[in-house]
Chains A and B, each alone.
Chain A
Amino acid sequence: MPPLTDLADAVIRGDHPQAGALTREAIRLAIEPKTILDDGLIAGMTVVGDRFRVHEIFLPDVLLAAKAMYAGMDELRPLLIRDGVPSLGKIVIGSVKGDLHDIGKNLVGIMLKGAGFDVIDLGHDVAPEAMVRTAKEQGAAVIGMSALLTTTMPVMGEVVSRLKAEGMGGTVRTVVGGAPVSEAFAREIGADAYAFDAGNAVDVVKTLVGRR
């Protein structure tokens, strides 16, 4: 379907005006919104993610592509809601309580949005109860937590414990990341997954929600 191929290309190129225009054009041609999303916007971002992973393109290219994807999503969102098309999933993210570092977490948010997830970013210094409450209220599939300090890492464990205590351990999955965090630490606190960078976080979250 050429218009959607062009749309995917616009996303890959990071051309946000064009991505918006081609999305409108696809809507005008009465292509199913879900098809526009899957075969246009997400198809483009998938290529971008693959190229980023093998260093063919760099982070700025990914962010530009994400910006183009958002331009398309702005056009498409009302129709997706109208049709009751679910997003890939809602993801609550935040830097944990006591930690004011949010550069890495912001990158994760941008990349997840670019991949088609609904991201609820609670910012930094986020208390465990706020994370769990938001996930519950919003029906989130995953909580993503970030920490840059060894002193704040234990807060991640508190979130995992609280989820379990509230009986949400099986429905809301957890993923942790940040410079001092490791796979072993994730296992130790009972988190479902660990991601070593923003690109990896997308892959990990897709696995957690069963999209990969």
Chain B
Amino acid sequence: MQITRRHFLRLGGALGAATVIAPAWLSASELQAAAAGAGPGTGRKLVVMLLAGGNDGLNTVVPYGTGDYYSKRPIINIPQAKVLPLPGAPGFGLHPSLAKLQSLYTQGRVAVVQGVGYDKPDLSHFGSMDIWQSGNPATRQASGWLGRYLDRTPGRGGALRAVSIGNSLPKLLTGETTAGIAISSLGGFRFADGADTPGSEAARLHQGYLDCCSGVTGDPATDALLTGGRTTVGAVRSIAALAKANSPSTATLADQVATAMTLLTSSLGVEIVMVTLGSFDDHAAENPNHDRLLGLVDAAIARFHDMAVATGSPDKYLLMTFSEFGRRVNEDGSGGTDHGTAAPMFLVGDGLAGGMYGAQPSLSALDPNGNMVRAVEMREVFSTVLEGWLAGPSAAQILGYGPGDGIHPVRFLRSVTSPAAPAHPAIAY
């Protein structure tokens, strides 16, 4: 039997890295990943794209067939002539900056879930962002829903299962007992004083830093530095092999996605990567800014799909967008919109059944604050990602819902979609 690379990695993991002499083609980081138990769970990968600041859903998936849309947004509406139509979804179309997304939609590679939100909406950026990332609108939680997924599937990989691109670690990837990591960029995620060449001064100092960070004290700030320092040294050593000179920057959202795909297609056991684009809080002069931002989103989604296709297994990659809320139906007096509630989410990939899901909330029957009433509860999307895509343990436990809570997963995945009808047939107003 031929000893394959994967066999060797598994063997290395079983024996422990210290007892294995690595052949030349196996990098130290791969060995370390193997020792940490990295390996395929489902083999499916997830890119989470956060549109921070509150993306205007009504100007993203435009309900041009609804008269209220134009009467309530006399200045910032997207004229019907400019809207990119969505086949099979009469009355709805995409913002003109989303041409590549439209193309993917027509190929059946995009699921649009309309009207996603939660009950008793919080109009604070930070309150609502917390709810979306913790994944439980009823009870405040210190951890995120993907972090709890990591907690409950410890056998699936090592320390690098979830990565956030940027210099903060969002709650979404922070569990109760485990957490993802943050990296600014692949090229930048390295020691400034040199690589860990054995016997070098840099290697001695990195070991010294690791030694400074040993132990645990019970003081949260101290322990954040201790455990964080240990994780950092391990992560830098693991990722060093990927940080080639030509590795993508993270200057644009598309670059972030390219970095995400580089990580997801590596042998490091990375399963989830989160990328973020901000500045969606368009209280004033919305259109030029929103046009630009959605153009960046479009380019990034296209990059995702191109790179997924290049792997040869595009159905193993799923991209999900979310934002902390949509925006007010009526525009304000500044050519912008104030904080709103429900909005569409995009799911992109070759492993899903494209089309429209959920329902566009009414633009006239609004809540007392002038906001739309959600059609789909956010956990109805998250549960499908958790159970259907990641094949995780009970989504009900992770997301804190019971049989009486009326959570019905939106069946946008090909493998779990019944051919009859989506759980939430689209409704056009």
> Do A and B come from the same complex?
no
Chain A residues near B (Cβ < 8 Å): none
